[in-house]
Chain A
Amino acid sequence: MKEKLEQIKAEALRQIASSEALDKLNEIRVNYLGKKGELTAVLKGMKELSPEERPKVGQWVNETREEIEKVLESSKKKMERALREAKMKAEVIDVTLPAKKNNVGHRHPNTIALEEVERIFIGMGYEVVEGPEVEKDYYNFEALNIPDGHPAKDEQDTFYITQDLLLRTQTSSTQVHEMEKGRLPIRMIAPGRVFRSDEVDATHSPSFHQIEGLVIDKRITFADLKGTLAEFARELFGEKTRVKFRPHHFPFTEPSAEMDVSCFKCGGSGCRFCKGSGWIEILGCGMVHPHVLEMSGIHPKEYTGFAFGVGLERIALLKYEIDDMRLLYENDIRFLRQF
């Protein structure tokens, strides 16, 4: 009996080894292990054996079955793997074909620069506020220490709507609105559109953007102004940026200053970008003029503050090396896609 089983097994394993397809393996399984298969037949013939022999033969049959099954299973796996591999071989793609992009749109360079500035100042505890673009003469000039007849009023080439209403020439008007609210301390930046009657060319636009900053609190000093703006410059233009403050004049600040930053192209050694000076003029600033505080109802003996104004386009043009301001308002998609 044992020889017979060995023989069946040998024959089965031989057939398995020589089969090349999954259905052939299935066929072998049915032929040997199925209900009508050869091993089942051996089991069926067991009733002719003596009761002592039966368990032994039963065990032999089971062992044989297990062995055949094991080999069948591993052959099947092998064959499946081979099949999958063959399939994948046929599925090779050209990975260098173009990407399927969602074609995400692009932010305007002004906005990218603005969001940078906002991020920096929000981090320092500043609130972003807005003011009206069509403004009263009072807020744009008088309340900023620029009374009628002041030369600065003419220098700014204001667009007027009526004698009293105009298009704001500076976001500084927002300072006054904030101070008038009477909520102290103030730490704010006010970005927005401003207007001056300059003809359009590579460096001028009748409509552009500024970001105004204002801090009012007890014991605010010029040193605080320097520290704050130096921090801002490093955040915006990089760790190694150095700043330089030069005396200047604005009617609504005293003392006033302009801030230069070390050229971020050459690091300050002088290049074409900074016209050889190593410095780039970036913003105007100063300590809020006591008269300005007074007009807005803040006591200058108790409170002091500083203010600054940055041209957004100036930053965008410098940072992204855009050589013509007109590009910012043309909205050519080939320009916008570069940001």
Chain B
Amino acid sequence: MNTALSWIKAYVPELECTDQEYCDAMTLSGTKVEGFERLDKNLEKIVVGQIEQIEKHPDADKLIVCQVNVGERTVQIVTGAPNVKVGDKVPVVLDGGKVAGGHDGGPLPEEGIVIKAGKLRGVASEGMMCSIEELGSSRDMYPEAPESGIYIFGNEDGGESLQLGSDAVEALGLRDTVFEYEITSNRVDCYSVLGIAREAAATFRKPFVAPKIEIKENGERVEDYISVEVQDTELCPRYTARVCTNIKIGPSPKWMQRRLAASGIRPINNLVDITNYVMEEYGQPMHAYDLEQVAGHKIVVKRAKDGDEFETLDGQVRKLDHDILMICDAEKEIGLAGIMGGENSKITDNVKTVLLEAATFHGTNIRKSAKRVGLRTDASGKFEKGLDPHSAQEAINRACQLIQELGCGEVVGGMVDVYAPGKETVKIKFDAEAINGLLGTDISKEEMLAIFERIELKYDAQSGMLEIPSFRQDLQGQADIAEEVARFYGYDKIPVSLPTGEATTGKLPFKLRVEQKARDIAEYCGFSQGMCYSFESPKVFDKLLLPEDSPFRQAITIANPLGEDFSIMRTVSLNGMLTSLATNYNRRNKDVRLYELGNVYLPKALPLTELPDERMQFTLGMYGEGDFYTMKGVAEEFFDSIGMRKKVVYDPKAGKPFLHPGRQADIVYDGKVVGYLGEVHPEVCDNYDIGTKAYVAVLDMPEVEPFATFDRKYEGVARYPAVSRDISMVVPKAVLAGEIEAMIEQRGGKILESYQLFDIYEGAQIKEGFKSVAYSITFRAKDRTLEEKDVTTAMKKILNGLETMGIELRA
């Protein structure tokens, strides 16, 4: 919300402060100032001048030479503007002064434009006459300004009485500052100039002076003109209407135009401007109907029928339903309640009699209706917050007062007021001790009462109750009162302490400790952490070659996604990883290693009826240096770091369609599949535009976590010597190293310490269908030096076992 400070000061006449002081104090008391802009920024040495003589420029057809009286002297100014004549009063920037912008109305330069005396085509010019654009404004805000040319002061600007040489910026109403406020949604009352003025008065401890409403009525009675029937008092708790006759449409006064312009509202004509002005002033939207167009001179407020259509005054046809409230006349619908009037009752310049409406509508209903018809207006934006029914009456009277005072029309006596009084006055118990207890302060009861007085809360000493004014709908309980005390006492003055009471232990839960370890290990292994979105496109499944019946396709769908690309909750973490790898690949980054810790969302049933299973996935991906076994290494380093010291088994029958069929494995720990890894299927790489081999590993953390432990136990360092034996074998190709190792472990007995693959070879010297494999096996006993026979026995068992697998020993 934007408002000129001068408008606020109209209701807080004693307010005196700099712009910055105002900004700081208002923000600290809860009316946040987002920023402010001086309307006279970069306007320097600009005075009122009067053109006394105009001559043609001797050397330029399009230029004229003016003698301009600027009070104490007359200056010569050359201009190309076509619209000036002798006798015109104009804003003149003198030598060394500044204007805000160029005459084309483009963006304003930060430092303004300095004007210096000089020569134009050989003729001296001692300044410049200004257009409204050069003064930093526009014709939207100053509709009387010429389309291109010098601004000429009219009678409205003070015309005759304007002193030559006086401050032209002041005369234009530009000695003002516009403040932009961020109003919180609970303070409905502050979406109005009066609301902010009240806050300003309370903040600066100055009296608040509300506008005095006095209406000169014309002696007629409103009941003779109109009748009102409200069929749904829930959706329309109050409907007030008045009638004005003999309407004369014309421009509104300058002061009103200036205030509206500063608030960002374009002046139109007196009637429209008055309703807008009052809407800003009271925060109460109003609507004016041409009474001639209101059939039967009767207003009926009722719900629309499903399927009806209605043309709003912007010319659009809107679809209606039963939950939308309509303003109707005796025959037809004439307005979307609280949102926009109808094309059929639009005010024209020929209007003679108007029906003014100020009503209170059900906030939520207006918000929902506006959303459904797809039309959010200034009015609906105010109504949807739930307005105070009192302001309808005040606003309509204020509007009538202005219509009469500003010569826009006559006011018919009386008001039609259909009001279903709802809530009683809210009363809250005042408990100074409780307030101090909550704030941690020691504010006296008297000081609190003084604050309440500033914000118009009435205290009844007898009952100990605070009476809340109707415009403060946000005050409902003790805590709200505490906030009022706090913000006017000053948040900055509340002391600083730390919670006392029972000591608690700070901790990171086990799950997060395991995840921290995963990050550490991934990073030691050269992987950097990425972050991916939780939602993705359903097209991902095809990109990952998942078959139609794949359980991964059972994904949760977002009802209102940002678009198809963000419409399902991921069930597999690979898309994010592959997309990230592709981004890097396309940017020619070499040797990329990434990891991610993020959830996948597995529904227990679809459509979703209960919360899904959110499973943390530790996903690794890489291309460039490294291969399948690098990935295995990371997984095993991670397991090792979280105390998973058992042998990890890799089952090549992982069955993942997005991985290379011959280069993938399930990662099995203690009989449980805890993840998988592999080379990305070349077709999947193609789908993601990754032009090289890529490898991924995914660990399902809820499966890993139960095995994790941070307990460690020292087992002693071997004191007796080890004995090693090397074996060299010719192995059928289909036999996996893992199978050989399983046999060594099974047969090696207690004294088996370790084994290591040291050679693997396929080729010319080896017979078809076989490979050569060599292991070094180490034995050691904890309690003695091994004897030859111990080792021989163990080796024999191992070799016998290996032979059963079709393995031949080489010499």
Residues of A within 8 A of B (CB): 102-108, 110-111, 115, 118, 121-130, 132-136, 149, 151-152, 154-155, 159-162, 165, 167, 185, 187, 193, 195, 197, 199, 206-207, 215, 217-224, 226-228, 230-231, 244-249, 251, 254-257, 287, 289-291, 304, 328-334, 336-337
Q: How far is the CB of A28 from chain B (nearest CB, A)?
A: 43
Nearest neighbor of B569 in chain A, beta-carbon distance: A134
Across the interface, do A227 and B487 meet the contact criterion of CB distance under 8 Å? no
Pair B495/A245 contact, Cβ less than 8 Å: no
The residues of A that contact B494 with a CB separation of less than 8 Å are 222-223, 226, 245
Q: In the complex, A133→B613 CA distance in Å?
A: 10
Complex Cα spacing A290 to B431, Å: 15
Within 8 Å of chain A (Cβ to Cβ): is B377? no
Verify if B793 is at the interface (C-beta below 8 Å from A): no
Chain B residues 369 to 386 lying within 8 A of chain A, measured CB to CB, are 371, 384-385
Known contacts being A105-B523, A217-B502, is A249 close to B186, with CB within 8 Å? Answer: yes
Across the interface, do B440 and A128 meet the contact criterion of CB distance under 8 Å? no
**A197, B533: Cα distance in complex, Å:** 13
Residues from chain A with a CB closer than 8 A to the CB of B595 are 105
Q: Is the CB of A197 within 8 A of B562?
A: yes
Interface size on B, residues (CB 8 A): 93
What residues make up the interface of B, taking CB atoms closer than 8 Å to A? 27-30, 32, 184-187, 363-364, 367, 371, 384-385, 437-441, 474, 477-480, 482-483, 486-487, 491-492, 494-509, 511-512, 516, 519, 522-535, 556-562, 566, 569, 580, 583-584, 587, 589, 591-595, 598-599, 601, 607-609, 611-612, 614
How distant is the Cα of A230 from the Cα of B30 in the complex, in angstroms?
Answer: 20
29 of the cross-chain contacts (CB-CB < 8 Å) are A102-B526, A103-B526, A105-B523, A111-B519, A118-B508, A126-B504, A127-B509, A128-B512, A133-B601, A134-B608, A159-B535, A159-B560, A160-B559, A161-B558, A162-B608, A162-B609, A187-B499, A206-B566, A218-B501, A220-B499, A222-B441, A223-B496, A244-B492, A247-B28, A287-B479, A287-B482, A289-B479, A329-B532, A331-B594
Q: Are B594 and A104 in contact (CB under 8 A)?
A: no
A254 to chain B, nearest CB (A): 4
| Nearest chain A residue, comparing its CB with the CB of B590 | A333
Whether A185 contacts B501 in the complex (CB less than 8 A), given A128-B509, A223-B494, A223-B495, comes out as yes
The answer to whether A185 touches B502 (Cβ under 8 A) is yes
If A126-B506, A255-B487 touch, whether A231 touches B589 (CB-CB below 8 Å) is no
Please give, as numbers and ranges, the residues of chain B lying within 8 Å of A165 by CB-CB distance.
608, 611
Q: How far is the CA of A332 from the CA of B371 in the complex (A)?
A: 39
A217 near B499 (CB under 8 angstroms)? yes
Closest 10 CB pairs of A and B: A223-B440, A221-B440, A247-B30, A331-B530, A249-B184, A255-B483, A122-B506, A149-B364, A331-B580, A105-B523
Q: Are B367 and A287 in contact (CB under 8 A)?
A: no
Q: Is the CB of A122 within 8 A of B561?
A: no
Contact in complex: B497, A221 (CB < 8 Å) = yes
- Determine the chain B residues whose CB is within 8 A of the CB of A122 once the complex forms: 506-508
* CB-CB under 8 A for A223 and B497, given A127-B504, A154-B367: yes
What residues of A have a CB within 8 angstroms of the CB of B492 in the complex?
244-245
Name the distance in Å between B374's Cβ and chain A's nearest Cβ.
Answer: 15
16 new A-B contacts, CB < 8 A, other than A105-B526, A121-B506, A128-B512, are: A105-B529, A125-B505, A130-B512, A132-B611, A135-B611, A165-B608, A165-B611, A207-B533, A217-B501, A221-B438, A222-B441, A228-B499, A245-B494, A254-B483, A329-B531, A331-B584
Contact indicator A333/B186 (Cβ below 8 Å): no
Nearest-Cβ distance from residue B363 to partner chain A, whole angstroms: 8
A118 surroundings in chain B (CB, below 8 A): 508
Cα distance, A77 to B21, chains bound together (Å) = 86
**Residue of A whose beta carbon sits closest to that of B488:** A247
Q: How far is the CA of A290 from the CA of B482 in the complex (A)?
A: 12
Please determine whether A247 and B526 come into contact, CB atoms closer than 8 angstroms. no
Give the residue name and chain of the B residue nearest to A184 (CB).
B502
Q: Is the CB of A133 within 8 A of B509?
A: no
Give the A-B pair count, Cβ closer than 8 A.
249
CA distance in complex: A222, B483 (Å):
10
Give the complex CA separation of A245 and B32 in angstroms.
Answer: 12
Q: Which residues of A contact B531 (CB under 8 A)?
A: 108, 110, 328-329, 331
- Once A195-B534, A333-B594 are accepted as A-B contacts, the answer to whether A111 and B529 lie under 8 Å apart by CB is yes
Bound form: Cα–Cα A245–B494 in Å: 10
CB distance from A2 to the nearest CB of B (A): 57
Alpha-carbon separation in the docked complex, A104 to B523 (Å):
5
List the B residue with the shortest CB-CB distance to A226: B496
Is there contact, CB below 8 Å, between B534 and A133?
A: yes
Contact between chains at A247 and B483 (CB < 8 Å): yes
Residue contact B498 to A228, C-beta cutoff 8 Å: yes
Chain B residue numbers with a CB within 8 Å of A161 are 556-559, 569, 608
8 Å CB contact of B611 from A136, A151, A222: A136
User: Which residues of B lie under 8 Å from residue A105 when comparing CB positions?
Assistant: 522-529, 593, 595
In the assembled complex, the Cα of A201 lies from the Cα of B592 at a distance in Å of 26
Say yes or no: A336 contacts B530, CB within 8 Å: yes
Q: Which residues of B contact A167 (CB under 8 A)?
A: 534, 558
Q: Are B479 and A247 in contact (CB under 8 A)?
A: no
Cα-based distance from A255 to B592 in the complex (angstroms): 49
A306–B611 CA distance with the chains assembled, in angstroms: 28
Residues of A contacting B587 with CB < 8 Å?
332, 334
CB distance from A107 to the nearest CB of B (A): 5
Please indicate the chain B residues that have their CB under 8 angstroms from the CB of A121 in the complex: 506
Is B523 a contact of A222 with CB atoms below 8 Å?
no
Known contacts A246-B27, A329-B532: does B486 contact A222 (CB below 8 Å)?
A: yes
Contact A123–B506 (Cβ < 8 Å)? yes
A231–B562 Cα distance when bound, in Å, is 39
Chain A residues lying within 8 Å of B511, measured Cβ to Cβ, are: 130
Q: How far is the CB of B630 from chain A (nearest CB, A)?
A: 12
CB contacts (< 8 Å) of B384 on chain A: these are 151
In contact, B526 and A331 (Cβ under 8 angstroms):
no
Q: Which of A103, A126, A289 has the most CB of B within 10 A?
A: A103
Least distance between B182 CB and chain A CB atoms (Å): 9
Residues of A within 8 A of B532 (CB): 329, 331
On whether the beta carbons of B526 and A104 are closer than 8 Å, the reply is yes
Residue pair A329, B479 in contact (C-beta under 8 Å) = no
Decide yes or no: A254 and B491 within 8 Å by CB, A133-B614, A134-B556, A336-B529 being known contacts.
no
Query: Is there contact, CB below 8 Å, between A155 and B185?
Result: yes
Contact A248 B486 (CB under 8 A): no
Cβ distance A258 to chain B, nearest Cβ, rounded Å = 8
Contact B523 A231 (CB under 8 A): no
* Contact yes or no, B614 A125, CB < 8 A: no
**In the assembled complex, which residues on chain A have CB atoms less than 8 Å from the CB atom of B525?**
105
> A334 contacts which chain B residues (CB < 8 A)?
587, 589
**C-alpha spacing A159/B556, complex, angstroms:** 12
CB <8 Å contact, A330 and B580: yes
Residues in B with CB closer than 8 Å to A124 are 506
**Chain A residue with minimal CB distance to B601?**
A134
Tell me which residues across on chain A come within 8 A of B527, comparing CB atoms: 105
If the complex has contacts A106-B528, A128-B509, A217-B499, are A224 and B560 also in contact, measured as CB distance less than 8 A?
no
Chain A residues closer than 8 Å to B28, beta-carbon distance? 246-247
Give the contacting residue for A221; candidates B439, B478, B534; CB below 8 A. Answer: B439
Query: Could you say which of A254, A330, A331 contacts B480, with CB atoms under 8 Å apart?
Result: A254
What separation, in Å, do the CA atoms of A304 and B499 have in the docked complex? 11
Q: Which residues does chain B contribute within 8 Å of A162, judged by CB atoms?
A: 559, 607-609
Inter-chain contact B506/A227, CB cutoff 8 Å: no
Question: A223 contacts B441, CB within 8 Å?
Answer: yes
Inter-chain contact B439/A333, CB cutoff 8 Å: no
Name the CB-closest residue of A to B557.
A161
Residues of B within 8 Å of A328, CB to CB, are 531
Q: Compute how far the CA of A223 lies from the CA of B614 in the bound complex, rounded to whole angstroms.
A: 38
The CA of A167 and the CA of B599, in the complex, are separated in Å by: 13
Q: Which residues of B contact A102 (CB under 8 A)?
A: 524, 526
- Which residue of chain B lies nearest to A224 when distances are taken between CB atoms in the complex? B499
Chain B residues with Cβ under 8 A from A337's Cβ?
Answer: 528
Which A residues lie within 8 Å of B557 (CB)? 161
**Which chain B positions have C-beta within 8 A of A149?**
363-364, 367
Once the chains bind, are B509 and A129 in contact (CB under 8 Å)? yes
